[in-house]
Amino acid sequence: MPDATKTNPPSATDRDRPARAAGAWWRLPLVLAAVLAAIVAARSSQTRERGPAATDASSPRLAGASGQTVTLTIQFGDGQERKFEAVPWRQGMTVDDLMTAVSRLPDGIQYTVRGDHEMTLLARIDESRNEGAGGNNWTYAVNDLRADRSLAVYELEPGDRVLWTFGPQE
């Protein structure tokens, strides 16, 4: 008669269980990395639309106390051009601030940006949207020099001329 208190030897399944648990150490860091990547992607893909109806309290106001100005020209690539001369300049004004100021004018523009700070990208002016690789996209220059940084961090000086061009990448 078999002894009821006797235990069976461990099966192959039982022997593998601790090894699988110990081998799963990499899952938590992988999940955390995926969550962090999703947060970064969500933050950088934020889209903000600006135009006469999209003003908010955090946007800069037109400030003309200094009497100094900047100019904005937009070339849409189809021969259409819009020019905004003598836009009041203020200390610390960025290209994004200039675009916001022009969007508040009665005959201003509407534009959309994606991302934040040094990762801000202009996505659309009025009805002209970036088309991605191989298509027409927005680029800008200040005083005839192609910009080397985001519109949200490029600070302007009095008298600067900003030119946005919609066309193929050079």
Q: What letter represents residue 40's amino acid?
A: V
Residues 6+ apart with CB under 8 A from 87: 62, 69, 70, 71, 72, 98, 101, 102
Question: Quick one: what percent of the chain has pLDDT higher than 70?
Answer: 66
Residue ranges covered by each domain of the chain:
12-44, 49-167
The 10s digit of each residue's pLDDT in 34-92 is 766 665 555 544 445 554 544 443 334 444 556 899 999 999 988 899 999 999 999 99
Residue 14, pLDDT score = 55
* The pair of three-digit structure tokens given for residue 98, joined into one six-digit string: 């200039």
What is the average per-residue pLDDT within 81-107?
94
Q: Which 3 state secondary structure label does DSSP give 160?
A: coil
Residue 36, pLDDT score = 64
pLDDT, mean over the chain: 79
On the CB side of 30, how many CA atoms lie within 13 Å of its CA?
4
Residue 8, pLDDT score = 59
Q: How far apart are CA 127 and CA 114, in angstroms?
A: 16
| pLDDT for 137 beyond 60 | yes
Tell me how crowded residue 165 is: count the other CB atoms within 10 A of its CB.
19
- Of the candidate ranges 20-29, 81-90, 129-138, 149-158, the one whose mean pLDDT is the lowest: 20-29
What is the average per-residue pLDDT within 145-167?
95
pTM: 0.64
Q: What is the CATH number of domain 49-167?
A: 2.170.130.30
